[in-house]
Amino acid sequence: MKAIPGRIRIIGGNLRNSRLNVPDLPGLRPTPERVRETLFNWLAPTIAGVRALDLCAGTGALGLEALSRGASTVQFVEPERAAADALRGNLARLKAQGGEVSSNDAAHFLRGAPQPFGLVFLDPPFAAQLWASLAHQLEQGGWLAKTAQIYVESPRGAELALPSNWMLHREGHAGEVRYALYRRLQDVPLS
């Protein structure tokens, strides 16, 4: 099913088939349903009860999908006011418990007091090229649980300089987008 402009849907869990209102903003690129379905099939054994961080939330589709499927909490970080307001509105309308929205820039948010998360969605605006800087802030700032999983969405073919203790678990491609799930290892020296 293709998303209607301005609306996308949650594809699984207790909020399944709920529609999300999406503001029309330049550069807003919701993760496609097919990619979300694949990702959450990968995450199915570990999603229940996890604390998640949707770092560059945009529409919040990834974090809302996580809440729908049993994540205990999701911290959404989104600096664009219209997107953050739409996300708050969707959380309230769906009565989704455990979601909190921070109207903040991702890098600024990560300079705050760390709270370890077991699952992080790292899908920054492609034009900003923030993967390496945000990944290293996550790793060095104490934001990741010992065995955290990190989802990274990037342009196909992009060379990403991620922390050396993030081990690729699974990956796929959808058009010009690469999506990958990494597992954080504790006993690998950082480079």
Q: List phi, psi (to 5°) of 130.
A: -100, 5
Model pLDDT for residues 48-74, shown as the tens digit of each residue: 999 999 999 998 999 999 999 999 999
- Domains belonging to the chain, first-starting first, are 32-184 (3.40.50.150)
- The model's confidence at residue 77, banded by pLDDT at 50, 70 and 90, is very high
Mean pLDDT along residues 79-104: 94
**pTM (predicted TM-score):** 0.91
Burial (CB count within 10 angstroms: exposed 0-12, middle 13-18, buried 19+), residue 162: buried
Tell me how far apart the alpha carbons of residues 155 and 73 are, in angstroms, rounded to a whole number.
28
* Calpha distance 105→49 (Å, rounded): 26
Specify the pairing of strand 166-174 against strand 51-54: unpaired
Under 8 Å between Cβ of 4 and 12: no
